[in-house]
Structure 1
Amino acid sequence: MSTPAELAAFFARCSWPRALTQAERDLAFEALYVRRHEAHSYVCQRDEIADSWVGVMEGFLSVQDTTLEGKLVMYTGVAPGGWFGEGSLLKPEQRKYEAMATRPTVTVHLPRKTFGWLLEHSIPFNHFMLSHLNERLGQFIAMVKFDRLLEPTARAARGIAGLFHPVLYPNTDATLRINQEELGWLVGVSRQRVNTALTELEAAGLIRRGYGHLVVMDRQGLSRYPSPAT
């Protein structure tokens, strides 16, 4: 398991505790707990009642669902420094998705009770959450737009750039540990087409490829990658 010092360092890097008073930060930190997950294990399951807000300390999560035909649909990925599941905590209903660790992953959990207490007592935390939800909504609207309007290489470029979102994933460094299959799930194209897209993006100087990972050379360039006529 992660050490208390590692948890404290992760907490200090997160943006939302900075909105809290010292007493509120202390309360939140004391409530946190850590879970370790093997590759391809579930962090949360569809139809369960959410009991915590979930952050990623190490690894990578796929937020996804499976159709009645058995097809996997990946809604988004969560890189280190990102938090997810706030929507499921704000309304008393079952989760509409599942989250799976695509590689060995360490998650940090803020219990529902503490999350609710912060919403009730901290106006700055409410402001942070409104901004966070607004960015999340914008992310999903952009995904729908890209899916309908962009060709596969541009979709791959925007999908990679989205995992470096400065609000949703503020602590993601330049190395993104994601494989071609995972990226294909994220942007809705085949693994073979992802390979072609990555070759094109590397030739454009926007990424550098490695085994099981990408190094992002120009996030802004990825987010503005053109969509040539097809």
Structure 2
Amino acid sequence: MSSNAMETMLRESLWAQTLTVEELDRVIRESHEREVPAGGFALRRGEPADLWIGIIEGLVKMSVSLADGRVSTFTGVTTGGWAGEGSLLKPGPWRYDGVAMRPTRLACVPRHTFERLLSTNIEFNRFLLSHINARLSLFIGLMEFDRLLGPDARVARCLASLFDPVLYPQASSFVRLSQDEIGLLSAVSRQRANRALHELERAGLLRVEHGGVEVLDLAGLRGYLGETESVATAYARR
């Protein structure tokens, strides 16, 4: 059963534009909404990958927990974003965890619905290729700033990554993330994230506000290296 909020999200999603009215109505009927508390699993490694999930409201951190307790975070999926399409393209379980970082509402499209669209709608396939390419570009960028850039630049690139028009079409200039959440997504401590945010604020790229940050210069965030940092010097120190 769909809620009004879920139906609205489905109808406003970029991929919905590839469907006929009848196809979209059927997707809405077959989908359902799910609420996940903060710290709960939106999806869990090892469990069957049987849903394509959209974030109606909230934030989900995609990560892998290692046996020694360490956690490797890939990305965060915010309001309006979709996740899980890669796992649905092949049979098997989830290979990563999706943990809600705050109370989160999910739109859940069943695997059989996703597979039907995949096998019958060429425009949906084209959207999916674009979506997966955007996700791949994001991951390559994340690897770059994780390995080559300093903490300030990592926070800048993490925030900038939330503005991809394919992955996050509903993004606004205000990013509703706590400093804890920014630290987790950037793989730095809360204290280091705080320092980075104020450095970026001094650079005129954003404004730190209650409940999040207002992005003032997206291009500047995407290209930020820091006053003394560069990819070349960072690479030389490895």
TM range (shorter): over 0.9
CA distance in 1, matches of 2:70, 2:179: 17
**Amino-acid identity (%):** 42
CA distance in 2, matches of 1:112, 1:49: 10
SS at match of 2:62: strand
Quick check: 1:157 aligned with 2:145? no
CA distance in 2, matches of 1:113, 1:5: 23
CA offsets, 1:143-191, max 9 Å, x none? Answer: 1111122111111101001012111011122222222222222222222
CA offsets, 1:21-67, max 9 Å, x none? Answer: 22211221221210011111111111111111000000111111211
CA distance in 1, matches of 2:103, 2:208: 21
Residue matched to 1:167: 166
Quick check: 1:218 aligned with 2:225? no
Q: Is the 8 A contact 1:59 1:79 kept in 2?
A: yes
CA distance in 2, matches of 1:5, 1:93: 32
CA distance in 2, matches of 1:34, 1:219: 32
Give unpaired runs (5+ residues) of structure 1.
Answer: none
Instruction: Compute the displacement of 1:226 (Å).
Output: 2.9
CA offsets, 1:57-86, max 9 Å, x none? Answer: 001111112112102221100010000000
Pairwise CA RMSD of aligned residues? 1.6
Give unpaired runs (5+ residues) of structure 2.
Answer: 230-238
For 1:95-134, list aligned pairs within 5 A.
Answer: 95-134=94-133
TM-score of the pair, normalised by structure 1: 0.94
Quick check: 1:206 aligned with 2:217? no
TM-score of the pair, normalised by structure 2: 0.91
Bigger mean CA offset, 167-176 vs 83-92:
167-176
Bigger mean CA offset, 25-34 vs 78-87:
25-34
Give the 4+ runs in structure 1 shifted more than 4 A: none
Q: Is the 8 A contact 2:2 2:28 kept in 1?
A: no
For 1:1-230, list aligned pairs within 5 A.
Answer: 4-230=3-229
The count of residues paired between Structure 1 and Structure 2 equals 229
Q: Is the 8 A contact 1:72 1:185 kept in 2?
A: no
Q: Is the 8 A contact 2:5 2:56 kept in 1?
A: no
AA aligned to 2:84 is G
CA distance in 2, matches of 1:177, 1:229: 29
